[in-house]
Amino acid sequence: MTLDERLIAYLDGELGAQDRAGFEAEMAADPALAAKVAQHRRLGARIAEAYAPVLDEPVPERLLALASAANQAGRRRVGLPQWAAMAACLALGVVAGRELWPERGPLAAHDGALVARGGLDKTLTTQLAADGGAIRVGLSFKAGDGRYCRTFQSAPDRLAGLACRRDGRWVAQTVTAWAPQSTPDYRTAASDFPAAVLTAVEAMRAGETLDAPAERAARDRGWKP
Amino acid sequence: MASFEREIVELLPRLRRLGRVLARAPSDADDLVQLTVERALARRAQWHRGTRLDSWMFRIMKNAWIDETRARARRGGLFAPEEAGEGVGADGAAAMEARLSAGEVERAMARLPRDQRLAVALVLVEGLSYQEAAEVLEIPAGTLTSRLVRGRTALMAELGEAAP
């Protein structure tokens, strides 16, 4: 450990008895070190104090309501079993795919699944999250089985969803209605993504979402697991 | 209310505090808490009773915050402008002084790189042990220590206590 690492470990109570005694002996012999320790101790206290008042603030009603199961019914889906929310979304997608875009929609039925086609397929395959456009890709991540999955939002199709790569196609896992501007009365936290899509992401991902370099690398490898 | 939900309610003040360290503006912080609670409820089957709920939810918040900052970086502008985090109100001189000091701390914290801010938040503000913080952040203990050193050194330079 460097001296600085030992210094903060000492302050945070992370040194064993022997190392602590050794460090205290060093401080006793070195006033400059002792002064630095005191400075860092005051800094730590100041930082903790700066945020302490938050604990005494009243918790906003929307957070209390969200966390209490009794208030959830009819307001949001998160309390439902995962499959129910996903089935509902997929059903919407199937209906939409058949009835709204019989021939040329963004999704088509294929082997019992909904797969991306046309512009959506091309976007999911080639576009990075940093790129703009009418259809945008949001989060990319690896699912538990190693396949890549990506969220998308399509302004022209007015839908958002999550699709995972399988056998060279993007298979929709969940699809939901989405408009570019979020409605004022339903606030999906700090996010542009519909709650149903985020819930599906949470249920499927293994580890963190990809950052920009990892996303680019995965694309350049053709989204092969 | 089931015990899982009750425990989440009891954690809300601490989640809000951690959110404030990460996102700074109170409205952004509460949005982050909301996202965290939504995700926790959606994946409650993945939480093992008997393990620490606070660490588990801090990890969810960490991931949510990283996702949000990535999504927002793309749209330009990370969270609200700096001024949005300032406290307002006028009462006694002591309270005002405390608020000014807190404002300085918040500004310094907001300038820390993401990884360092997370490490400092969990250890200095939330009081987690190094091992607990490393587990929340899903990094080795050595990595946590070096982030803590860099974060604290930057804060010391920024908040510049005059050498005695």
Examine residue B60 and state whether it is found in any structural domain, yes or no: yes
Which range marks the domain in which residue B61 is found? Answer: 1-80
Position B71 in a domain: yes
Using CA coordinates, name the residue in chain B closest to A50. Answer: B102
Instruction: Provide the pLDDT for residue A72.
Output: 43
Is the pLDDT reported for residue A80 higher than 70? Answer: no
Q: Establish if B157 belongs to a structural domain.
A: yes
Identify which of B2, B21, B30 has the shortest CB distance to residue A69.
Answer: B2
The DSSP code sequence of chain B is: --HHHHHHHHHHHHHHHHHHHHH-SHHHHHHHHHHHHHHHHHTGGGSPBTB-HHHHHHHHHHHHHHHHHHHHHHHSS-SS-GGGG-------HHHHHHHHHHHHHHHHHHHS-HHHHHHHIIIIIS---HHHHHHHHTS-HHHHHHHHHHHHHHHHHHH-PPP-
Proportion of chain A above pLDDT 90, given as a percent: 38
Q: Do B164 and A54 touch (CB under 8 A)?
A: no
Give the pLDDT confidence of A158-211 residue by residue, as tens digits: 788 899 998 889 988 888 777 765 444 333 333 567 777 887 888 788 878 888
CATH number at residue B159: 1.10.10.10
pLDDT (0 to 100) of residue A178: 74
Shared-domain flag, residues B14 and B52: yes
What is the Cα–Cα distance from A59 to B10, expressed in whole angstroms? 10
Of the candidates B67, B129, B146, which has its C-beta nearest A209's C-beta? B67
Instruction: Please determine, for residue B88, whether its predicted confidence score (pLDDT) is greater than 70.
Output: no
Residues B22 and B64 both lie in one domain = yes
Tell whether B59 and B123 lie within a shared domain: no
Whether residue B131 is predicted with pLDDT greater than 70 in this model: the reply is yes
Tell me which chain B residues have a C-beta less than 8 angstroms from the C-beta of A53: 102
- What's the whole-number mean pLDDT along residues B21-44? 89
The verdict on B117 and B143 lying in the same domain is: yes
B85 lies in some domain: no
Give the tens place of pLDDT for each residue, B35-80: 999 999 888 888 888 888 999 999 999 999 988 887 776 655 444 4
Q: Can you give the pLDDT at residue A71?
A: 41
Question: For residue A163, what are the β-bridge partners?
Answer: A150, A172
What pLDDT was estimated at residue A177? 74
Examine the domain organization and report whether B54 and B98 are in the same domain. no
**Residue in A5, A12, A64 closest to B9 by CB:** A64
Query: Looking at CA atoms only, how far is residue A69 from chain B in angstroms?
Result: 6
Task: List chain A domain ranges.
Answer: 3-56, 81-220
Is B104 within the bounds of a domain? Answer: yes
B151 assigned to some structural domain: yes
Query: Residue A211 corresponds to which tokens in the numbers above?
Result: 């950052």
- Same-domain check for residues B76 and B96: no
Mean pLDDT calculated for residue range A59-75: 66
Q: Do B48 and B122 sit in the same domain of this protein?
A: no
Confidence of residue B91 (pLDDT cuts 50, 70, 90): low
Calculate the alpha carbon distances from A164 to A139, A143, B81 in Å: 12, 8, 36
Q: Which of B52, B80, B108 is the last residue of a domain?
A: B80
List the CATH number of the domain containing B38: 1.10.1740.10
B38 and B19 share one domain: yes
Q: Is A54 on the interface with B (CB under 8 A)?
A: yes
* Cβ contacts of B159 on chain A, cutoff 8 Å: 43, 46
Strands A159-166 and A107-110, by their bridges, are unpaired
Percent share of chain A, pLDDT over 70: 77
Q: Classify residue B86: in a domain, yes or no.
A: no
Query: What pLDDT, on the 0 to 100 scale, is given for residue A133?
Result: 82
B130 belongs to a structural domain:
yes
Task: Tell me the average pLDDT across A38-64.
Answer: 91
Domain edge (last residue) among B25, B52, B80:
B80
> To the nearest whole number, what is the mean pLDDT of chain B?
83
Q: How many Å apart are CA B150 and CA A109, to the nearest integer?
A: 53
Residue-wise pLDDT tens digits, A89-116: 555 544 444 444 445 678 877 777 788 8
Is A5 within 8 Å of B149 when comparing Cβ atoms? Answer: yes
Number of domains in chain B: 2
pLDDT at A22 over 90: yes
| End residue of a domain, out of B21, B49, B80 | B80
- Give the pTM: 0.60
